Amino acid sequence: MAIESAEVLLLSVDIAADLDFWTSSALGFRMDHVFPADDPRVACLSGHGLRLRLAKSPGAAPTSNPSTIRLLHSGKPPQQPSLISPSGVHVEFHPSTLAFPSPPTQHSFSTRRLLDNAPWIIGRAGMHYRDLIPTRLGGSIIASHIRITDPGPVPDRVHFHTVGFQLIFVLKGWVRVVYEDQGPAFIMRGGDCVIQPPGIRHRVLESGDGVEVVEVGVPAEHLTTIDHEMVLPNGSEVVGDREWEGQRFVRSMAVDAVWGNWRVEGFEARDTGVRAGTKGKASVNVVRPVMGMGKGGAVSSHDADILFDFVLSGSCTLQVQDNGRHSLTEGDAYTLPPGYKASLNDMSKDFTLLEVSLPGGFSTTAHPEVQLA
């Protein structure tokens, strides 16, 4: 058997009246088939990528058709937001694109320690997720510690995200990925990271043993859409100047690290290029203490809307205003509200930190064919 097409079956109390309804200028469907011509019992219509089959059922009441068909429009909305066919089918009009502004950040200081044994949840493509920000700061951000437990091919598909910002940072192991307009597939190893601009098509192809990554997304709840048409790679060359909603694809490799001053005295940072790629909408740095600085860190604060830190290696003591001292080790994470005073102390020699800073103001637009309500 080879399925060639699909259609929606609607019971019709009055074929003639329903044909007038569906083919009206307000709805714009066209009739493709009718049978028989002298006293139709079946009529097939098409429009807007949808096929309808009207089947005459004289005994059916309008309440027999609880179905709702949504028609997505652009421009000025119709005067009537909904219609009902003579046979009781509801027709609703909705905008073809929907904007999803990030929820206002509910600032709070929070920590998530690996030793707290937060549950690992099986998510997309069989990956295991550990939530690094339990409150998600009111829905403004999600940060996940992700493990791929079975090495080899990953059961992923070409997809994209309706998201304001998204970071993938590899902690351990290696993973082979491919991105739209970024040439052939490539391998990311521990310390490498990418940002996935809104709408860029991509796919995880293969992973080594013991892969772990940190994924950060804004807002916390965002849409993932499968692209059934695109095949990746979609070319052999990197389109370096392409932008997706004002952002460029950024790939930062640990072996190419260039270190410079950080916002806190006594530390240095590896600039990943995310600030330039997002035109200042985000900043991602790998941080380590300057050799010979001692065990005390300078007290500092920040003015970003969201500040998320993850301990990549080693250990430290985080001293926070009004919240005391917190011993942190590899795999622990914390968030600091803007203006909050904090310092890093008693760091081990191998201490490194991943910091994601987001000024705020992200807004995303859903795929035209998607309605969430």
* Dihedral of alpha carbons 6, 199, 308, 124, sign: positive
For each of the domains in the chain, give its residue range(s) and CATH number, in order of start: 8-96 (3.10.180.10), 110-365 (2.60.120.10)
Q: How far is CA 117 from CA 5, 128, 326, in A?
A: 49, 14, 17
pLDDT value for 362: 66
Q: How many CB atoms lie within 10 A of CB 31?
A: 16
pLDDT value for 24: 94
Q: How many CA atoms within 13 Å lie on the side-chain side of 154? A: 26
Residue labelled with tokens 């690094």? 132
| Listed residue (339, 362, 332, 371) closest to 140, CA to CA | 362
The three-state secondary structure class of 129 is strand
pLDDT value for 72: 86
pLDDT tens digits, one per residue of 183-203: 999 999 999 999 999 999 999
Question: Model pTM?
Answer: 0.82
pLDDT value for 4: 84
70's CB contacts (< 8 A; 6+ apart) are 91, 92, 93, 94, 371
366's CB contacts (< 8 A; 6+ apart) are 97, 98, 99, 100, 162, 223, 372
pLDDT along the chain (373 residues), means of 10: 87 92 94 88 93 85 72 84 88 78 89 88 83 94 92 92 95 98 98 97 95 95 89 95 96 96 93 95 95 70 96 96 92 96 93 94 55 45
